[in-house]
Amino acid sequence: MFAIETVALEKIYQTGFWRRATRRALWPLSLSVPEHEVFGFLGPNGAGKTTTLKLLMSLIYPTSGEARILGLPVDDPNLKRQIGYSPEQPYFYDHLTAHELLKYYAQLTGVPAKEQSKKVEGVLERVGLRDIKKLQLRKFSKGMLQRVSIAQAIVHDPRIVFLDEPMSGLDPMGRREVRDLIQELKEEGKTIFFSTHILSDAETLCDRVAVVNKGELKGVGSIAELKSRGTGESEILWESAGEIAELKKRAKSFHRSAEFWRAVVPDAEVYTAIDCIRQAKGRLISVTSVRETLEDYFFERLNAPGAEQ
Ligand SMILES: Nc1ncnc2c1ncn2[C@@H]1O[C@H](COP(=O)(O)OP(=O)(O)OP(=O)(O)O)[C@@H](O)[C@H]1O
């Protein structure tokens, strides 16, 4: 059984005054996420990330297809205790304090009365809001509200945590803290599904990612898998008394770093390059195949033929 599973999940919004116009936000999406995985849902603005999360949270209905969490249909009331959700733009009753709000969410998600205070205190500490727990939420900054939003998603200790752009609105310190928190949740064995358009956050945290663009899945796999393709180029390092003009001419990039010369050449030119180094009485240090970065993968997918709809 998967923690999260979607089968040809599709969403077309009806728009306009008479709801006659349509906008496709999600092409049929099939994904499965095993338990205990940190799964990144990666894509630029308008990719369909929030739509997918709302479908998983049963906040909107799919046009077709289905989604299951822990083997249950997403609208099954038994899931309430098992999942937590932090929306991208949280809206809270802002006359409440963080403590009151979290207590309310603890009640809603069925935390037994005698455990509520302890859970709320624990989670406030975890997201760094303990010292301002008595402050009304209307006095909170966007970053502080983001922490409250994450806190309400985990106060009942759910098995699966859904976070929509959890780092948005946070300064670098705050982002680091949220990253650490996600890491801790993973170590506790939770499944985390989070959307982001920030590649480095996905890279440091995720076991696997799905790349989406304009509602369409462009690729899914571990970061290592996505990055494991060679670019068809090799990096050559060597020592030599001076620059080697012939190699410079053939190289895509050519420069001297601290001790070595470095050139990147097409794979087909590697042997010619090595010959050039030998003839110049240089000493070859290494030849390595250049791997794709996550950025390369991401942008190549987004600009691939068929990316436009
Ligand atoms: N209620 C709605 N009615 C009509 N169109 C919508 C609605 N909600 C979203 N859309 C459209 O669906 C597409 C996907 O939007 P969605 O918010 O899911 O993307 P996203 O990846 O979360 O982007 P962002 O990071 O900007 O929030 C967009 O073209 C958006 O304009």
* 136 Cα to the center of ligand 1, angstroms: 31
The tokens for 57 are 């949270």
Q: Which residues line ligand 1 (CB under 6 A)?
A: 13, 15, 23, 25, 43, 45-51, 88
* 84 Cα to the center of ligand 1, angstroms: 21
Residue 304 above 70 pLDDT?
no
Going by CA atoms, what residue is nearest to atom 7 of ligand 1?
13
* 47 Cα to the center of ligand 1, angstroms: 7
* 214 Cα to the center of ligand 1, angstroms: 9
- Between the alpha carbon of residue 219 and those of residues 37, 62, 163, 225, the distances in Å are 17, 22, 20, 10
Q: Closest ligand 1 atom to the C-alpha of 88? A: 27
The total of other beta-carbon atoms located within 10 Å of residue 171's CB is 10
Going by CA atoms, what residue is nearest to atom 3 of ligand 1?
13
Contact call for residues 223 and 37 (beta carbons, < 8 A): no
Q: For residue range 51-76, what is the model confidence (pLDDT) as tens digits?
A: 999 999 999 999 999 999 999 999 99
Domains recognised in the chain with CATH numbers: 2-226 (3.40.50.300), 232-290 (3.30.70)
Q: Residue 248 — φ and ψ, nearest 5°?
A: -60, -40
Q: What is the mean pLDDT of residues 230-251?
A: 89
Q: For residue range 82-93, what is the model confidence (pLDDT) as tens digits?
A: 999 999 888 888
CA 171 to chain centroid:
17
Alpha-carbon span 216 to 11, nearest angstrom: 11
- Between the alpha carbon of residue 188 and those of residues 45, 146, 160, 175, the distances in Å are 31, 22, 11, 20
Going by CA atoms, what residue is nearest to atom 2 of ligand 1?
13
- Average pLDDT score, the chain: 89
Which 8-state DSSP code applies to residue 293? Answer: P
SS (H, E, C) 70-106: CCEECCCHHHCCCEEEECCCCCCCCCCEHHHHHHHHH
Q: Which of 18, 51, 214 to mutate to test the pocket of ligand 1 (most atoms within 8 A of CB)?
A: 51
Alpha-carbon span 242 to 31, nearest angstrom: 54
Among positive and negative, which fits the CA dihedral 132, 137, 140, 142?
positive
pTM of the complete model: 0.81
* 162 Cα to the center of ligand 1, angstroms: 17
* 42 Cα to the center of ligand 1, angstroms: 14
Alpha-carbon span 285 to 239, nearest angstrom: 7
pLDDT computed for residue 309 by the predictor: 36
Q: For residue range 152-205, what is the model confidence (pLDDT) as tens digits?
A: 999 999 999 999 999 887 888 888 888 999 999 999 999 999 999 888 888 889
Alpha-carbon span 67 to 81, nearest angstrom: 18
Q: Which of 13, 41, 162 to mutate to test the pocket of ligand 1 (most atoms within 8 A of CB)?
A: 13
Q: Closest ligand 1 atom to the C-alpha of 24? A: 12
Give Cβ neighbours of residue 303 (< 8 Å, ≥ 6 apart).
none
Alpha-carbon span 194 to 180, nearest angstrom: 14
Among positive and negative, which fits the CA dihedral 221, 31, 52, 120?
negative
pLDDT computed for residue 16 by the predictor: 79
Complete DSSP assignment for 204-218: HH-SEEEEEETTEEE
pLDDT computed for residue 232 by the predictor: 83
* 30 Cα to the center of ligand 1, angstroms: 19
- SS3 label, residue 225: helix
Q: What is the mean pLDDT of residues 40-51?
A: 91
